[in-house]
């Protein structure tokens, strides 16, 4: 059985699950495990870096949906960074793109998590 490892990187305090070129039935359990490791960090969001992924079958979609349900129940969110047209298409067909925010890059997904900086208040 193939397991890509699905590393979890911490970027600006946010766990980022890095996915391989393909997510399918042969590595979906590893994907689920990576998502669970990321959730264990307890941060407000998890980002899934699918920018290298060109194929994701129903097993991968199911793993994403499971992570979404867990995160929602815990008051957290899952964000996806996806570039491949085929992966974006499967997210649209399954309506996952309506449940989860999808960004073109990991940086965009992370930037939108940062609280806006406010202008310094000057005393009157």
Three-state secondary structure of 56-104: ECHHHHHHHHHHHHHHHHCCCEEEEEECCHHHHHHHHHCCHHHHCCEEC
In the predicted model, what is the mean pLDDT of residues 81-98?
97
Residue matched to tokens 């000057």:
122
Is the residue at 122 inside a domain? Answer: no
Q: Could you tell me the CATH number of the domain that includes residue 15?
A: 3.30.750.24
pTM of the model: 0.86
21-69 pLDDT tens trace:
999 999 999 999 999 999 999 899 999 999 999 999 999 999 999 999 9
* Number of alpha carbons in the 13 Å side-chain half-sphere of residue 27: 19
The mean of the pLDDT values for the chain is 90
Is the residue at 70 inside a domain? Answer: yes
Is the residue at 75 inside a domain? Answer: yes
8 A C-beta contact, residue 98 and residue 84: no
Total number of domains in the chain: 1
């Amino acid at each position: 059985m193939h397991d890509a490892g699905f590393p979890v990187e911490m970027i600006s305090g946010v766990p980022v699950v890095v996915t391989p070129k393909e997510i399918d039935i042969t590595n979906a359990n590893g994907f689920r495990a990576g998502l669970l490791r990321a959730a264990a960090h307890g941060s407000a969001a998890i980002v899934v870096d699918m920018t290298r992924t060109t194929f994701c079958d129903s097993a991968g979609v199911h793993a994403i949906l499971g992570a979404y349900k867990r995160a929602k129940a815990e008051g957290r969110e899952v964000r996806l960074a996806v570039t491949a047209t085929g992966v974006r298409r499967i997210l649209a067909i399954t309506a996952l793109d309506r449940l989860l925010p999808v960004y073109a890059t990991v940086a965009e997904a992370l930037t939108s998590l940062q609280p806006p900086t406010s202008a310094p208040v000057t005393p009157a």
